[in-house]
């Protein structure tokens, strides 16, 4: 009887269940989108129950599609949109508020207040992060401060907090396990990434009771079994957890110091493996835990771009100038350049290297000759320019010049974007055969824990390149285009 690993990839816009075989190949995929709530400008929320039911539906569908029984699944790996915060009642298992999404800006005031009190340095030193609404800690505080009765319940030990991994393991295990892994904990603003403990002083500042927090475990180990009635009469070990960007780094087999990947999903996230050492950034990158495997943790440097593929969704759903994401390539290809048009999609502020949460989106260089094609192309190009900002910071901090950049995520199917990316970076871009590297990374982590794969060496051999995009643009032209982008960003930031 052939065996498989089931990977649950809970992303910002959709949940996916993907079944992998022993060769690390995709056997079947199921995907469900769910509702995005924008209750106020800059706020983004999800319904945690809808996330759970979307995951359940995907699990059922993927097994049915592959004609595989639960008995053939030797382990489940979970990977998730990170930072998104859920708080639920321990007694009822029901969330007391919507999940506050990583993109949401509703804790800007809390962050500003903490920054004004001079706490940024302390948080940065211990967590590798910054006092920005992006991270979970201030979202938990916001829920406790704003939901009626929440603070009292939390103080009585009646509430639990979790990122989406924690929430899913809790639901899959029938409430038996309240756990997370190092990679997710390192995104909360409450976890000391050097002591590997919840930081009591930071918790006091954030007024979050420690009793709410999950137990932090390795990224590859058995945390609990699924309860059989949710999993078709069979218990399956949940054996891998990692935040989606760290999972992608693992799935891209970036196991050596200095190897990096960039994932183009809702946002764009570049991570570089820095080994056993957490490198402190001087250029706006985050220091984060990559994973804990075999009793050891490894670190990564990260550049976070808040709006990437979601800018393409905005062209589709907001402006309604394209019908679907792939069409962005068709329109962009109809023109040779944007003719000086720049779109800066700072819809929820700007992340690395600017960390400007009050900036908002802007368009520059419009003329009477600007067409839809130029506009679409400029939006696509903004993904590449933002990535160039991040790579420059990465090179400055690490001193490592990348030989190539491994890429993945929904938008890398766009060949024009990938070629432009390589042109703007002046670095070859490698797109692997398995584009679902986030899910693959979680599958690997789970598979290692249950002995499905023997070790990282076996996994690294499975990585295969599908296509390399080599730089073709002259350096002077590259500099000219990128200088235009920098001017556009600078101008965007003055409009507040």
Ligand X SMILES: O=P(O)(O)OC[C@H](O)CO
Ligand Y SMILES: Nc1ncnc2c1ncn2[C@@H]1O[C@H](COP(=O)(O)OP(=O)(O)O)[C@@H](O)[C@H]1O
> What would the two tokens of residue 298 be?
């490894």
Q: Which does 328 bind (CB under 5 to 8 A by kind): ligand Y, ligand X, none?
A: ligand Y
Range 231-270, binding ligand Y (CB under 6 A): 265-266
* 105 touches, from ligand X, ligand Y, none (C-beta below 5 to 8 Å by class): none
13 in contact with ligand Y (CB under 6 A) = yes
Torsion, Cα of 116, 117, 123, 128 (10° steps): 20
312 binds, among ligand Y, ligand X, none (CB under 5 to 8 A by kind): ligand Y
The option from ligand X, ligand Y, none interacting with 82 (CB < 5 to 8 A, set by class) reads ligand X
Establish if 321 lies at the interface with ligand Y (CB under 6 A).
no
Q: 120-127 vs 108-116: helix axis angle to the nearest 10?
A: 100
Q: Phi/psi at 228 (nearest 5 deg)?
A: -60, -35
Shorter beta-carbon distance to ligand Y: residue 220 or 382: 382
φ, ψ for residue 468, nearest 5 deg? -105, 130
Q: Are 411 and 293 in contact (CB under 8 A)?
A: no
* Residues in region 8-37 near ligand X by CB under 6 A: 11-12
**CA-CA distance, 44 to 155, in Å (whole number)?**
27
For strands 286-293 and 342-344, give the pairing. Answer: unpaired
Closest approach of Cβ 349 to ligand X, in Å?
14
Show contacts with ligand X in window 92-121 (CB under 6 A): 102
Helix (H) or strand (E) holding 291: strand 286-293
Is 83 annotated as ligand-binding?
yes
Residue in 77, 162, 267, 447 binding ligand X, rule: CB under 6 A: 267
Shortest-Cβ-distance residue relative to ligand Y: 410
Which residue among 45, 329, 423, 430 contacts ligand Y (CB under 6 A)?
Answer: 329
Q: How far is the CB of 285 from ligand Y (least distance, A)?
A: 20
**Least separation, in Å, of the C-beta of 101 and ligand X?**
9
Closest among 62, 2, 7, 64 to 436, alpha carbons compared: 7
> Is position 278 an interface residue for ligand Y (rule: CB under 6 A)?
no
Which does residue 86 touch among ligand Y, ligand X, none (CB within 5 to 8 A, set by kind)?
A: none
Q: Which residues contact 277 (CB under 8 A, 6 or more apart)?
A: 299
10 annotated as a binding-site residue = no
Grouping H, G, I as helix, E, B as strand and the rest as coil, residue 335 is coil
CA distance 320 to 371: 15
* Cα 236-241-288 angle, rounded to 5 deg: 175
CA 164 to chain centre: 12
CA 449 to chain centre: 23
| CB-CB neighbours of 451 under 10 Å | 10
Numbered residues of the known binding site: 12-14, 16, 82-83, 134, 244-245, 266, 309, 313, 410, 414
Numbered residues of the known binding site for glycerol: 82-83, 134, 244-245
Numbered residues of the known binding site for ATP: 12-14, 266, 309, 313, 410
Residues near ligand X (CB under 6 A) are 11-12, 81-83, 102, 243-245, 265-267
Residues near ligand Y (CB under 6 A) are 11-14, 265-266, 309-310, 312-313, 325-326, 328-329, 409-411, 413-414
């Amino acid at each position: 009887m052939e065996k498989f690993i089931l990977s649950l990839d809970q992303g910002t816009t959709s949940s996916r269940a993907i079944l992998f075989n022993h060769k690390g190949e995709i056997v079947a995929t199921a995907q469900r989108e769910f509702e995005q709530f924008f209750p106020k400008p800059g706020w983004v929320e999800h319904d945690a129950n809808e996330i759970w039911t979307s995951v359940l539906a995907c699990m059922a569908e993927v097994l049915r599609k592959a004609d595989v029984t639960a008995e053939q699944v030797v382990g489940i790996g979970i990977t998730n949109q990170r930072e998104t915060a859920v708080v639920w009642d321990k007694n009822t298992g029901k969330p007391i508020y919507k999940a506050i999404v990583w993109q949401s800006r509703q804790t800007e005031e809390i962050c500003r207040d903490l920054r004004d009190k001079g706490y940024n340095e302390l948080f940065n030193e211990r967590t590798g992060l910054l006092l920005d609404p992006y991270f979970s800690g201030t979202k938990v505080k916001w829920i406790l401060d704003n939901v009626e009765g929440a603070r009292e319940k939390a103080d009585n030990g009646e509430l639990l907090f979790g990122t989406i991994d924690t929430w899913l393991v809790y639901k899959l295990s029938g409430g038996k396990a309240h756990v997370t892994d190092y990679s997710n904990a390192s995104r909360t603003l409450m976890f000391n990434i050097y002591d590997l403990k919840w930081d009591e002083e930071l918790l006091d500042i954030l007024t979050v009771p420690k009793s709410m927090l999950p137990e932090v475990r390795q990224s590859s180990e058995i945390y609990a079994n699924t309860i059989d009635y949710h999993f078709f009469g069979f218990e399956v070990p949940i054996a891998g957890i990692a935040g989606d960007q760290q999972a992608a780094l693992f799935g891209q087999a970036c196991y050596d110091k200095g190897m990096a990947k960039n994932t183009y999903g809702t946002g764009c996230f570049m991570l570089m493996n820095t080994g056993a050492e957490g490198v402190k950034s001087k250029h706006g990158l985050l220091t984060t835990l990559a994973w804990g495997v075999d009793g050891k943790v490894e670190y990564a440097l990260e550049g976070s771009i808040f709006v990437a593929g979601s800018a393409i969704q905005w062209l589709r759903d907001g402006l309604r100038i394209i019908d679907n994401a792939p069409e962005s390539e068709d329109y962009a290809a109809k023109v040779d350049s944007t003719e000086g048009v720049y779109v800066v999609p700072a819809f929820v502020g700007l992340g690395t290297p600017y960390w400007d949460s009050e900036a908002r989106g802007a368009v520059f260089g419009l003329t009477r000759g600007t067409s839809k094609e130029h506009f679409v192309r400029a939006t696509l190009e903004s993904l590449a320019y933002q990535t160039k900002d991040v790579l420059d910071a990465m090179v400055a901090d690490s001193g490592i010049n990348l030989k190539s950049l491994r890429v993945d995520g929904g938008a890398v199917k766009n060949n024009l974007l990938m070629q432009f990316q390589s042109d703007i970076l002046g670095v070859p871009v490698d797109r692997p055969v398995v584009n679902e590297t986030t899910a693959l990374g979680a599958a690997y982590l789970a598979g290692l824990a249950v002995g499905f794969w023997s070790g990282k060496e076996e996994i690294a051999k499975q990585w295969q390149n599908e296509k390399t995009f080599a730089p073709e643009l002259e350096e002077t032209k590259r500099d000219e285009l990128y200088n235009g982008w920098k001017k556009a960003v600078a101008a965007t930031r003055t409009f507040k």
